[in-house]
Amino acid sequence: MLNKSLKEQEKRQQWITPLFRFLFAFILSTIPAYADNLIVISREADSYHQVADSIKQSLNTNYKVITLKELDENSHSIGDYQQIIAVGSRAADQLVTLAPADTPLYVSFIPRQTYSQLLIKYADHQRVKTKKITAIYLDQPYYRQLALAKLVTPSAKSIATALGPHSSNDRKLLQKAAKKMGLELKSVTLAETDNPIHKLQPLIKSADIFLSLPDKSVFNRTTAKWILYISFRQRIPLIAFSKKYVEAGALAAVYSTPEDIGKQTAEALKYYSVRSRLPDPTYSDYFDVSTNKAAANSLRIAIPSEEDLVEQLRGLE
């Protein structure tokens, strides 16, 4: 009798176990995709992946990462995701219209001016009208750059910079930041037809510091070399916007790494989860400073350590 009971139990087990497995698989398959967030990177590049990895490491939520090319080629459905992050300018441009208008869109690793142009381009789009979009900028605020300039050259009274067609709109922002730091701003606007050297040489010579801005219409490989050469000859400290330019000879730069941008993007996602609204577009609160000791020695400047400069900048903010 006992053996018969055991055999019947075994038979039930044989069909119950597969049934449970089937039901479990079915339940999993019916969980909607909106439980996940989607990260779309503009292209295969280390910096974009570093931003995406930093976001994932900062949050416990599950993320899917795809390239813009994969999104186009595979007709990947993005309608069921809870939140979407576009990393880079190209991804941002396409996702403004591709993503559902009521899905929060975070535009990360994008210059502030590029984001401003994006909002103008899609001003009539429902996403922009309802503010279902925000940004984490790639570049640095002017006050932070000028604060660094003042920290490495405390005796400076004036700072010069060259503006392009787009950055010329920021002249008032620069003047405000310069005034706050006790600096007189000197600037020229370069058109595409201008000879940059003819305008840059007297400008650099006229100031105590020169600030290089990431404006593509002004700053390219050729002008970068000339700016370094002129500032070196005139013994004018050059404040850059990237670590590579410091390695090439600029005195110092403040910048945010892809990991810093990813971390700030995660902060924006956390903000939304708590307040149910998107934060305002912002620069990264996380940044690093790079200095060139050889340039400092050549200019006879006793420059603080990179760690001290970061600490002082944070204190000022």
pLDDT of residue 27: 38
**Quick one: angle between helices 142-152 and 306-316, nearest 10?**
130
Do 150 and 113 sit in the same domain of this protein?
A: no
C-alpha dist (Å) from residue 38 to 11, 25, 45, 84, 125: 45, 23, 17, 5, 21
Do 97 and 131 sit in the same domain of this protein?
A: yes
Instruction: Write the pLDDT tens digit of every residue in 13-63.
Output: 554 445 444 443 443 333 333 447 999 999 999 999 999 999 999 997 888
Q: What is the DSSP letter of 304?
A: P
Do 114 and 200 sit in the same domain of this protein?
A: no
Contact yes or no for 59/79 (Cβ under 8 A): no
Do 156 and 221 sit in the same domain of this protein?
A: yes
Q: Which residues contact 149 (CB under 8 A, 6 or more apart)?
A: 156, 159, 181, 183, 209, 211, 237, 239, 252
> Which tokens is 21 given?
């497995």
Helix ranges (DSSP H) in 31-111:
46-58, 68-73, 89-98
Contact yes or no for 317/144 (Cβ under 8 A): yes
pTM: 0.84
C-alpha dist (Å) from residue 23 to 15, 16, 32, 197: 12, 10, 16, 73
Is 15 part of a structural domain of the chain? no
Number of domains the chain contains: 2
C-alpha dist (Å) from residue 66 to 40, 167, 235: 5, 32, 47
Do 227 and 129 sit in the same domain of this protein?
A: no
pLDDT of residue 150: 96
Q: What is the CATH number of the domain that holds 291?
A: 3.40.50.2300
pLDDT of residue 22: 43
Between CA 86 and CA 107 the distance in angstroms is: 5
pLDDT of residue 245: 93
Do 267 and 294 sit in the same domain of this protein?
A: no
Residues of the chain whose pLDDT is less than 50?
2-4, 6, 15-17, 19-35
Do 70 and 164 sit in the same domain of this protein?
A: no
The domain of 176 spans 142-255+287-316
Residue 288 belongs to what H/E stretch?
strand 288-291
Between CA 118 and CA 88 the distance in angstroms is: 12
Is 20 part of a structural domain of the chain? no
Do 310 and 237 sit in the same domain of this protein?
A: yes
pLDDT of residue 13: 53
The 10 Å CB-count burial string (b at 16+, else e) for 178-217 is beebebebbbbebeeeeebeeebbebbeebbbbbbbbbeb
Is 89 part of a structural domain of the chain? yes
Is 185 part of a structural domain of the chain? yes
